[in-house]
Amino acid sequence: MANIILADDHALVLEAISHLLTVEGHHGVRTAASVEETAQLIADGPAPDLILLDYRMPDMHDLQGLLRIRDILPGVPVALISGSPGGAVASAALDAGAAGFLPKTMTREELLGAVDTILSGGTFEPAPPADGTLAAMLTRREYDVLRGVAQGLSNKEIARNLALTEVTVKLHVKTMCRKLDARNRTHAAMLALEFGLL
């Protein structure tokens, strides 16, 4: 049994992965909702055997959060979890010293296997994403807007957070709903959770 710190700012995802690692993986899991909370858990102890960070948390700032946590605990593997299927982001993360890149689209068995690989001293890199996957269908900006929708933010709030106009956000929501075949923004957020995009 390993001691794992899992950080994700989306409560439902955090709960689901934590439950999987605890019940099926038989690991001890402490959870955080940000890089800052992760750093605090490390300071409080005990030292973890593995740290899993959501790539899209607000205070991750791309790979800066990964580098910060690795600086705090240089001997402990730090892997990223993400709604993105991998590709260039996964390569950049591994180049920056991540012990793995775990897409949220993985099956339970694949996720547990990836964690075991990393805990055994290995590195986990996902297979290249297949064209046509839901994650590949969305642009980076549409993904950012979808994330805001899933957090319950209004178009105005999303626009402010992403430095966009409200009209642009509305257009992204419309396009995103069409790509996901969603009836409305709420349905889009539900589909995103169901398919592990967030």
Q: What CATH number should be reported for the domain holding residue 155? A: 1.10.10.10
Pick from 119, 149, 183: which residue ends a domain? 119
Is the residue at 47 inside a domain? yes
| Domains in the chain, number | 2
Q: Which residue has better confidence, 46 or 187? A: 46
pLDDT at 134 over 70: no
* Distance from C-alpha of 77 to C-alpha of 127, rounded to nearest angstrom: 20
- Residues of the chain with pLDDT > 90, as a percent, come to 49
Are residues 152 and 88 part of one domain?
no
Q: Give the pLDDT band (50/70/90) at residue 81.
A: very high
Nearest by Cα to 104 from 118, 83, 90, 87: 83
Are residues 148 and 113 part of one domain?
no
Is the residue at 129 inside a domain? no
* Distance from C-alpha of 155 to C-alpha of 151, rounded to nearest angstrom: 11
Are residues 8 and 93 part of one domain?
yes
Is the residue at 125 inside a domain? no
Are residues 87 and 39 part of one domain?
yes
Is the residue at 38 inside a domain? yes
Are residues 79 and 10 part of one domain?
yes
144-198 pLDDT tens trace? 888 888 888 999 999 998 888 999 999 989 888 887 778 888 888 887 776 666 6
Is the residue at 128 inside a domain? no
- Give me the count of residues in the chain: 198
* Distance from C-alpha of 56 to C-alpha of 126, rounded to nearest angstrom: 17
Is the residue at 127 inside a domain? no
Mean pLDDT computed over 129-157 = 76
Are residues 115 and 29 part of one domain?
yes
The CATH number covering residue 27 comes to 3.40.50.2300
Q: Helix, strand, or coil here: 109?
A: helix
Mean pLDDT computed over 112-138 = 77
Q: How is residue 110 written in tokens?
A: 């694949």
Instruction: Say if residues 126 and 135 touch (Cβ distance below 8 Å).
Output: no
Residue 155's domain comprises: 134-194
Are residues 93 and 69 part of one domain?
yes
